[in-house]
Chain A
């Protein structure tokens, strides 16, 4: 069973696999590798389609097309309120634990939307490989925090995709590049500017080992932001202030086309019908650059931080590699060249390189890889992990850029006599105060034996696994008994919620099957009904007395059944009609046969006689 690599991107997603020692992207029926990360839901909140058709329907009423949901993964409603407003997604208010979109009567999480995309890519792989893939390596931005990674894992679980590893996107890209170039002993900076996220990773390539020295980024910075800035500029200039969802979509689509055109020429025309108004605007490269410069500058800050963490200067970087569709923009290339003092290079398709690297890692994880026997990726945790101490100060247990897997333990005690539980608050971030960091979860250690204050010694261990996901365990050092840990994640789904979604996904799959059977039954009934109607019209004289009435009754009963959704009634109606029509049909067949034989015979005689 082959393992697959999936690049679950903000704007596009891909699936790749290693075939005959080469990583390849798998194509859809129209030979396209990219799947737009878009999912269409109908007005009732039922998913209808994924990818290109979802995108095509985005400006249509009667449903919602979700795009860029990666921006919402592992976030609270408050954190993404601006994005939601921009995209015209309705959020469930009042619950800040995880974002939920409202469509009709239904609430949909970004995790479920992502699961739809993953399911489709998995199915594509299953079709291309003539069998179910063993497991998948799914890429995530290196700068994704714990909640965002966890959400990605949950999406895979709901989609029924077995996750072998969450792999950082720049690391995946380095792997794809590493094999194609003689990079041994080099220090490489991977500049990954995608649709919605930015990562910078600095790696040392040594004898097959890809060691990440440092990583930094912004999970809210990408090509999307350029499109939005341009769309908003044009909408403003056109004086359109009351922007509804479809109008905004149309503006974004036109902005994206304009942006792409500006990669090849100095000027481009923004053209769209917005709110019933034909809008046309000439955009030149310079003014576009001025518009997006503040956005790109944010990438510069992250680059400087990554260099600092690796204790390197730009001159120490041997190569700069560009990844992500947004690095096609000349301005981005110029910016990177200036920042690192050398021209960046991009030998591989920046849209595909991450998926190719993921496929290679998936192949390595089979343990039988001929491609990369001695390849090993050594990655780091992007953000420090710590605990809230007295007074709201953060105690850092695992500093950022620590190699993963990483473990660190800390011993706690009680403050009150006979205290049987201790609360721990885990945070992620670089700030000193809890309020400035991102809360990951609250852990409750319970079941401690009642003892005087300060006597119990509870050893709490933080373990960051190879996916960059934190697990917490605790042991009572005195008794050696592991303490019960109750986890309340700050963002994302609880285990119960995931289970409910899994069940819903299975139920949905059953609904799908039922629906397909119903459609099949209708088609069959339709064929029978039309044949019978045609027959009584053609040969009314061949009907026995009373037969016509019986057939017509059966026909109208079937049409009634077909108007409803009861598959069994339709099948029964078709069966009954078939039965009452059988003698009539028999006679017609016999007559046709007679005609055919006699006709043929006559022709033969004529032929023999030479007429």
Chain B
């Protein structure tokens, strides 16, 4: 990132060279906003520390006497930092972001896969970088397994509340797996 004021190359919301507050990042990625490495296993302390450090830099109280433009940037930055904390502190939301790339994925209204499944999806995505072929195979296997599960549920359809939920859950998993299939090229 290049400082808008002094053109120094920097990696923080506030320029180390001239002390200018930078415009908020053009991303909703909570890891980028808080300056953290993407990882599902991240402790609350690490998130809180990063959030506090970022708040110290960007909070409106720090820029109270500055121009309206700077104050607005500080407001947007802080709002982004606070949203990022909210997403990362919630394991489910964190996993959803890691699997969809969207910090606020649209609610489908139906049942949502549990954290364990999302962790599997997340691991797949990590694997896609380190071991693309392995990831492709795992995705394909998971896809087949869930398709079979879905077919089986349809075949042994029983009227009752449980069945519909089971179908919804499998469909939701398949949606995630479909995204993973496109990403891994399976």
Contact = CB atoms under 8 A, between A and B. Distances in A.
A465 B55 CA distance: 14
Contacts of A364: 61
Interface stretch (B2-10, B74-82, B122-130, B145-153): B74-82
B52 interface: yes
A376 B82 contact: no
A585 interface: no
Interface in A360-378: 361, 364-367, 374, 376-378
A427 to B, nearest CB: 19
Contacts of B59: 376, 378, 466
A555 to B, nearest CB: 61
Nearest to A364: B61
B80 A407 contact: yes
A404 B52 CA distance: 13
Given A211-B52, A407-B80, A465 B65 contact: no
A377 B65 contact: no
B181 interface: no
B51 to A, nearest CB: 8
Interface string A346-367: 0000000000000001001111
Interface string B61-80: 11011000000000110111
A268 to B, nearest CB: 45
Contact of A405 (B56, B62, B82): B82
A376 B79 contact: no
A172 to B, nearest CB: 13
B144 to A, nearest CB: 35
Contacts of A164: 64
A168 to B, nearest CB: 13
A402 interface: yes
A209 B75 contact: no
Given A407-B76, A463-B75, A365 B64 contact: yes
Interface in A380-432: 402-408
Chain A's interface size range is 20 to 34
B150 to A, nearest CB: 29
B82 A365 contact: no
B79 A463 contact: yes
A364 B61 CA distance: 8
Contacts of A405: 60, 75, 78-79, 82
A466 B82 contact: no
Contacts of A365: 61, 64-65
A365 B62 CA distance: 7
B138 to A, nearest CB: 34
B132 to A, nearest CB: 34
Interface residues of B, number: 19
B79 A367 contact: no
B85 interface: yes
A297 interface: no
Nearest to A362: B64
A286 to B, nearest CB: 47
A367 B59 CA distance: 12
A376 B86 contact: no
A557 B52 CA distance: 77
A211 B51 CA distance: 11
B170 interface: no
A406 B65 contact: no
B83 interface: yes
Contact of B79 (A165, A377, A378, A407): A407
B79 A209 contact: no
Contacts of A207: 52
Interface string B138-169: 00000000000000000000000000000000
Given A209-B55, A376-B56, A465 B64 contact: no
Contacts of A465: 60, 75
A464 B65 CA distance: 20
Given A206-B52, A209-B52, A463-B79, A376 B62 contact: yes
Of B52, B61, B65, B76, most buried by chain A (CB within 10 Å of CB) is B61
A164 B60 CA distance: 11
Interface in A445-503: 463, 465-466
Interface string A208-225: 010100000000000000
Nearest to A164: B64
Given A365-B64, A376-B55, A376-B56, A404 B82 contact: yes
Contact of A402 (B52, B82, B104): B82
B77 to A, nearest CB: 9
A466 B60 contact: yes
B104 to A, nearest CB: 8
Given A209-B56, A463-B75, A406 B83 contact: yes
A403 B82 contact: yes
Contacts of A211: 52
Interface in A548-566: none
A211 B56 CA distance: 12
Of A367, A402, A405, most buried by chain B (CB within 10 Å of CB) is A405
A171 B135 CA distance: 50
B55 A378 contact: yes
Interface string A181-206: 00000000000000000000000001
A403 B65 contact: no
Contacts of B61: 165, 361, 364-365, 376-377, 466
A402 B64 contact: no
Interface in A152-177: 164-165
Of A207, A376, A377, most buried by chain B (CB within 10 Å of CB) is A376
B75 A402 contact: no
Nearest to A380: B82
Nearest to A410: B104
Nearest to B77: A405
Interface in B89-143: 104
Nearest to A471: B75
Contacts of B55: 209, 376, 378
B68 to A, nearest CB: 13
Contacts of A466: 59-61, 75, 78
Contacts of A408: 83, 104
A466 B75 CA distance: 8
Interface string B40-62: 00000000000010011001111
Nearest to A395: B107
Given A367-B62, A404-B82, 8 more contacts: A165-B64, A365-B65, A366-B64, A376-B56, A377-B61, A402-B86, A407-B80, A407-B82
21 contacts: A206-B52, A211-B52, A361-B61, A365-B64, A367-B62, A374-B56, A376-B56, A376-B61, A377-B61, A378-B59, A403-B82, A403-B86, A405-B60, A406-B83, A407-B80, A407-B82, A407-B83, A466-B59, A466-B60, A466-B61, A466-B75
* 7 interchain residue pairs of minimum CB distance: A407-B79, A365-B64, A403-B82, A466-B60, A405-B79, A367-B65, A405-B78
